[in-house]
Amino acid sequence: MVDWGAIQEESMQNEELKKVREGLMKGSSNHSGYYLEEERLLYQGRFVMPRTSVHIPHILQKFHGSAVGGHSEVHKTYRRLALELYKKGMYKDVEEMVARCEVCQRNKYMAMAPRGLLQPLALLTNIFASTRPLLSPTKLDRARSTQLIIIEVKLIRIMPQI
């Protein structure tokens, strides 16, 4: 369980956030997006955490590794966390935590086919080798007959191997 009271107390003691609070109390407009609500410092409606908070690993684990988080990818975890909290450098922290998450690293899948398993196609020497009539002559009426021939042409695009 996240102890929001302890995080708020830590936020009150942080020097960087103290300056922001003091500026807001004096009516300074240097801190756009920040405001105070019952002694809680908020940024665009989200609770502001100090960069050096000792609670960051626990909160990241809660938003990523719990049943609510479900070991989502970096962006989804960040969006879920950013709805509630604001901290400078939070996206980078989420990236690092997901990269270190054993469950995610063990269960992640490759979005591409493994390299080197595909074999090159054989080149055709005569591109008209596969032409063949599909229909034999049919009588439309007694005076005329017709024949339909479909020619299959296989075009080959030669791509360099990477």
C-beta of residue 137 within 8 angstroms of C-beta of residue 146? yes
CA atoms within 13 Å, Cβ hemisphere of 78: 15
Instruction: Identify the pLDDT of residue 92.
Output: 93
* 4-107 fold: Endonuclease III; domain 1 (1.10.340)
Residues 74 and 98 sit within 8 Å (Cβ to Cβ)? yes
- The domain locations on the chain are 4-107
The string of pLDDT tens digits covering residues 92-147 is 999 999 888 888 888 876 666 666 666 776 766 665 555 555 444 555 555 555 55
| Nearest C-alpha neighbor of 88 from the set 46, 35, 51 | 51
If pLDDT is split at 50, 70 and 90, which confidence band does 24 have? Answer: confident
Rounded Cα gap, residues 63 and 43, in angstroms: 19
pLDDT at residue 156, as a whole number: 61
pLDDT for the residue 7? 83
Query: What pTM was computed for the model?
Result: 0.60
